[in-house]
Structure 1
Amino acid sequence: MNGKKLPLSGQTALITRVSRRSGVGFAAAKRLAQDGASIFISHYSTHDEQQPWKGDNLDALRHELSEHLTVDASFADISLDLAGPDAPSTLMEHALALTGSLEIMICNHARSGSDGSILDINTNRLDDHFFVNTRSTVLLTSLFAQAFSGLRGGLSAAPGDTVAPDKKVSEYETGRVIWLTSSQARPMPGEIAYAMSKAALAGLVRTAASELVRLGILLNAINPGPVNTGYLNPSSTDRSTEVLEEILETMPHIPRTYGYGPYPVASPSSYGVGETALGDYY
């Protein structure tokens, strides 16, 4: 390292849904580790095994990710279904136990599959996607804000109330939260529940960010666009042959996730607040 301090040395990052080495979460965790952060990840391989692309070898994933840690950094993980109402609290408790603090959180987790069109969507499908993709992300962000600021919620705020006095925002003393959204701004036929859950996050990001910035936390969202994490491979796709051929013909150079990033957590560009960054195809 030539004695040069890495940008995330001494910081700890929580990244959700790091369960496959071909996934966006793994690429993000690897990059943060290379930048000096301690890493805590969550995964839920049961969900992956239910998908056409299947799961990964978690021991191999842990080993490969650990190889990118710096000497003073720590690593731990937990398997957890974020659909449960108490799951965000459980995850935050374990993540904070790694080093005693959290400075970065990337909410990369999402439920996919078991969806439907507007004609066959039902209560269970809507709830299943909302609980994992939306509710848990908002609750995790609330818990992150409480841990980072040392503040706790009291009585319900009235419309227009601010959460706390303004706090100075500094490049290296600022909490950062990233929400992963999706292509919900475009038609997503057959994915009513998924599109709803991601659209809710995209619509909320500016309101939540306006409160978090007063606590010294910068919240932004990323819509990575099409990234082939396996779902666009003919052998493991969840699309029909016709749809897959149309996607690959329209967008022939869809990126894979290896080396994907960097996420805006350690550079002047991360001063954006409440924004949604778009991938190459947008």
Structure 2
Amino acid sequence: MAGFQGKSVLVLGGSRGIGAAIVRRFAGEGAAVSFTYAGSRDAAERLATETGSMAVQADSADRDAMIARVRESGPLDVLVVNAGVGAFGDPLEQDPDAVDRLIRINVNAPYHAAVEAARRMPEGGRIIVIGSVNGDRIPFPGLAAYAMSKAALQGMARGLARDFGPRGITVNVVQPGPIDTELNPADGPMKDIQHAVMAIKRHGRPEEVAAMVAWLAGPEAGFVTGAMHTIDGGFGA
């Protein structure tokens, strides 16, 4: 496939899991892809070699570093913000520093990256942020901080869609449910609890999320913006 031939794509948080699947999808369709990673150097280098993409180490918790990375990537046709962290547990016992770091990575970084990308993004560009079904629904205790950060992305996307719409730039959020990754494996300890509330009783595949991202980045989604796109097997139904 060559659906993104000649397009410049940056994936923030692309070395593993959903991010790696997104890198593979765009690279496989002919895009010039670069992606960031934080600590997974070996995985990032393997993925870059496999796909012909470029891996750059950058910490999404560092606002200035994120802005610089987006700026140095030049005019982007597609920005995908996948980098994110979790901070789960009793809010009365959680480390406030961990919660603040979560907000820097899950909220601040997507906002500043999107704004910086839009400065040089051509007409018809695409900004896609990976959120979570927990932005809509919180079925278990211990998710308050994480869900707060993912719900914030909804307001961001709606607002930036208005701001960038006159230039044909779309801004959307993809909201996965349980996806088979290292952090939430399909055979992990949360499997039975998660599947019990799902209509389709299995974990999703990273490639399925990447397919939704690719559609939103393509020409058929030019009229889709400011919207949340849930892919969760009915977890939040």
Q: TM-score with structure 2 length normalisation? A: 0.86
Match of 2:148 in 1: 196
The one-letter code matched in structure 2 to 1:207 is G
Match of 1:131 in 2: 104
Contact 2:71/2:117 (<8 A) preserved? no
Q: Does 1:40 align with 2:14?
A: no
Flag structure 1 segments of 5+ consecutive residues without an equivalent. 47-54, 67-74, 150-172
Match of 2:194 in 1: 247
Structure 2 SS opposite 1:254:
coil
Match of 2:128 in 1: 178
Superposed CA offset, 1:179-226 (max 9, x none) = 111122111522322211111111221111111112331111110222
Shift of the 58–76 alpha-carbon distance from structure 1 to 2, 3 Å rule, reads closer
Structure 2 SS opposite 1:261:
helix
- How much has 1:245 moved relative to structure 2? 2.7
Match of 2:85 in 1: 111
Match of 2:205 in 1: 256
Pick the structure with more helix per residue: 2
Shift of the 174–91 alpha-carbon distance from structure 1 to 2, 3 Å rule, reads same
- How much has 1:45 moved relative to structure 2? 1.9
Identity %: 25
Contact 2:175/2:228 (<8 A) preserved? yes
Shift of the 135–25 alpha-carbon distance from structure 1 to 2, 3 Å rule, reads same
Matching residue within 131, 140, 144 for 2:113: 140
Match of 1:63 in 2: 49
Shift of the 103–233 alpha-carbon distance from structure 1 to 2, 3 Å rule, reads closer
Q: Identify the range of structure 1 (272-281 vs 261-270) with the bigger mean alpha-carbon deviation.
A: 261-270
2-structure distance, mates of 1:121, 1:192: 11
Contact 1:181/1:223 (<8 A) preserved? yes
Q: Does 1:267 align with 2:214?
A: no
- Structure 1's consecutive aligned runs of 4 or more residues displaced over 4 angstroms after TM superposition are none
The CA RMSD over aligned residues, in Å, is 2.3
2-structure distance, mates of 1:25, 1:58: 11
- How much has 1:142 moved relative to structure 2? 0.7
2-structure distance, mates of 1:261, 1:118: 32
The one-letter code matched in structure 2 to 1:81 is D
Shift of the 123–260 alpha-carbon distance from structure 1 to 2, 3 Å rule, reads closer
2-structure distance, mates of 1:120, 1:8: 46
2-structure distance, mates of 1:191, 1:7: 38
Match of 2:62 in 1: 84
The one-letter code matched in structure 2 to 1:136 is A
Flag structure 2 segments of 5+ consecutive residues without an equivalent. none
Q: TM-score with structure 1 length normalisation? A: 0.73
Q: How many residues of Structure 1 are paired with residues of Structure 2 in the alignment?
A: 227
The one-letter code matched in structure 2 to 1:197 is S
Match of 2:10 in 1: 14
Q: Which protein is bigger by CA-based radius of gyration?
A: 1
The one-letter code matched in structure 2 to 1:44 is A
